[in-house]
Chains A and B, each alone.
Chain A
Amino acid sequence: MNIKSRFNEWANSPMAKNNVQKWGGRTKNFIFNIVMAIIIVGVCYTILAPVIAIISRTFMSPQDIGNPLVFLFPQEPTMYNLQMAVRYMDYVSTLTRTFIHAGAFAVLSVVVASFVGYGFARFKFPGVGILFGLVILSIVVPVQSYMIPMFLNFRFFLGQSDWNLINPNYPIPLLLLTLTGVGIRSGLYIFIFRQFFRGIPKDIEEAAFIDGAGTFGTYMKIMLPNAIPAVTTVFLFAFVWHYNDTYYGGLLMTGNSLMAAQLGSVGWTYSEDQDTRNPIFIQLVVFAAVSLAIAPILTLYLFLQRFFVEGLERSGIVG
């Protein structure tokens, strides 16, 4: 009996096969997990690098910036930058106002976009194709390209020279835009909802219809609860984009002192009030301000995250 045939005998025995399967499976899993971990850590680092730099500079004193030995961890950590940023941004009051502003607009965006998106997803009516093409057009054409007509349209609303809707302190134009589904990236929200609703099986709706629910009732009671991931996603995007918006704010609500506007001017206010022209001092305060601006949205995201998993799988209707 030579070695080869003995090996074959061993390799064909059930015990060996079992072992190969077991260890092969484990090794495969192990290697897969390692590759996955490497990819995730690598991508996370790419994203985090600038954020880490900003947060570490938030706590640095000017001496640390000049010290070539300091890379991330300040030798003389200080809260001065944060205190200055909080004072000159009027942080607590600004944050409250911005949260109310962004939250209200995000809720409005979700309501309007889901409503319109449902109309586009489920009803066949003449002209639906062309109208949906218009939705895409409103996403594609950047607002910068019709900024002047838009401003003049609000300044002389509907061609009436005494109908001035632009108020430096109240977001009336933005409210109108959001309510009618053409606000900040509203087209995208409509699109997301439409695609989501089309992905939900029609049987559920038909069942509700047969059971006597009206069109509106079906939308409220059946479709919306099934689109919780879409609702969360759109709410989050709308919130962040309203929170960070400088474009509409600067154009249509010039007197606003929301977070984005405060962020843009904090370096200037600080240097004027403290009478300092040292760019390093100013930059450290600006970094602290950026940290302060990011922190609340990130907290909100962590809070909202658990709603992402509550979709069809929880409601148990499909399956």
Chain B
Amino acid sequence: MENEKKPKRKGLSLRGRQTVSGYLFIAPWLVGITVFFLYNIIEAWRYSFNVLVMEDGKRIFTWVGLDNYYFIFREHTTFFVEMFESIFQMIVNVPLIIFFALFMAILLNRQFMGRGMVRAIFFLPVIMASAAIADTIEMSYGMLFGGVEYIPPEVMREQTGFNVGSIIMLLANFQVPPQVVEFIVEAIANLHEIIRSAGVQILIFLAALQSIPPSMYEVAQIEGATSYETFWKITIPMVSPLIITNVVYTVVDTYANSEVVETARDMYVMENNFGASSAMSLSTALLVCLVLFAICWLISRRVFYYD
């Protein structure tokens, strides 16, 4: 009895101390997530069941129940299709971007001439992908080619891309199943996109690769491991926590740039329909969360942590 009581007199137990310091560390975030995030989400959720009208700087709510949801799923012409296309696009892009980023990070982590310059080039998409610069460039293209000669960016991308038709023919001649062909064609058609949107992921992987202690590789080399074994037994497990980070980032980035988000934004910018806009955002966000948790659950069983 006395032995059990002794630490309690001094203060909290180890578990209690862990709890207190844990909460102390996340305290600032706890405030932020409640006041600036959860509150807003709940408000958006409330909007999605109402028709919201702004009058004299006041908000007037009219309860309409599930009407907004009925509208976006059954009456809106494009939303439902766009939502599933965005999800499909995401499922195609995520593995490609992750593999590409890991591959490039491993290449860039080697010693070669002009490495600093190449790394700087790989950082460019991170800068260029920002809305400010991308919009400016697009706008100025519109100015230059204005009128009949204006080429929308979608068409431009296809023109600069690779001739996909030849690949389809080739694969069809080899009796490759159509689903696989579709996947490969998507991948090739999106090559530009994949390279451009892998900038952040490459940097995160680079940082991860560089935090692997070189002594591990030395030990493996002395023990006679081939570079293939070293890759699977050291590099991959050590990088694996950040594979999850990158998957999360990729999914979110693909989603944030997808058409659904744009449709939801147009809904209130063009039509001032706050309710339907909120309903769209919330239902797609929910779907993306489900996809994300499924992917993370699949990967996280293989992730290596020190604890």
Pair B133/A148 contact, Cβ less than 8 Å: no
User: Using Cβ atoms and an 8 Å threshold, which residues of chain B touch A34?
Assistant: none
Pair B143/A267 contact, Cβ less than 8 Å: yes
User: Using Cβ atoms and an 8 Å threshold, which residues of chain B touch A279?
Assistant: 143-144, 146
- The CA-CA distance from A305 to B44 in the complex, in Å, is 41
When C-beta atoms are compared, the residue in chain B nearest to A124 turns out to be B18
In this assembly, does B135 line the interface, its C-beta being within 8 Å of a C-beta of chain A?
yes
When C-beta atoms are compared, the residue in chain A nearest to B242 turns out to be A195
Distance of A303 from chain B, by nearest CB (Å):
11
Which one of A1-9, A16-24, A135-143 contacts B?
A: A135-143
User: Using Cβ atoms and an 8 Å threshold, which residues of chain A touch B251?
Assistant: 140
In this assembly, does A199 line the interface, its C-beta being within 8 Å of a C-beta of chain B?
yes
Q: Mark A132-158, 1 if CB is under 8 A from B, else 0.
A: 001111111110111011101100001
- The CA-CA distance from A112 to B139 in the complex, in Å, is 36
A interface, size bucket? 35 or more
- The CA-CA distance from A283 to B2 in the complex, in Å, is 82
Given contacts A47-B196, A233-B203, A298-B124, contact A148 B25 (CB under 8 A): no
Q: Mark B111-149, 1 if CB is under 8 A from A, else 0.
A: 010001011111111111011110111011101101000
B1-46 residues at the A interface, CB under 8 angstroms: 15, 18-19, 21-26, 28-33, 35-41, 43-44
Distance of B113 from chain A, by nearest CB (Å):
10
Pair B19/A126 contact, Cβ less than 8 Å: yes
User: Using Cβ atoms and an 8 Å threshold, which residues of chain B touch A50?
Assistant: 128, 137
Interface of chain A: mostly helix, strand, loop or mixed: helix
In this assembly, does A232 line the interface, its C-beta being within 8 Å of a C-beta of chain B?
yes
Partner of A128, one of B22, B146, B278, B282: B22
Pair A142/B28 contact, Cβ less than 8 Å: no
Pair B289/A302 contact, Cβ less than 8 Å: no
- Interface of B toward A, CB cutoff 8 Å: 15, 18-19, 21-26, 28-33, 35-41, 43-44, 47, 59, 104, 107, 110, 112, 116, 118-128, 130-133, 135-137, 139-141, 143-144, 146, 191-192, 195-196, 200, 203-204, 206-208, 210-216, 238, 241-242, 244-245, 248-249, 251-252, 255-256, 261, 264-265, 268, 274, 278, 281-282, 285, 288-289, 292, 305-307
- Interface of A toward B, CB cutoff 8 Å: 36, 39-40, 43-44, 46-48, 50-51, 54, 65, 112, 115-116, 118-120, 122-126, 128, 131, 134-142, 144-146, 148-150, 152-153, 158, 176-177, 179-182, 186, 188, 190-192, 195-196, 198-202, 215, 219, 229-230, 232-233, 236-237, 240-241, 244-247, 259-260, 263-264, 267, 279-280, 282-283, 286-287, 289-290, 293-294, 297-298, 301-302, 305, 308-309, 311-313, 318-319
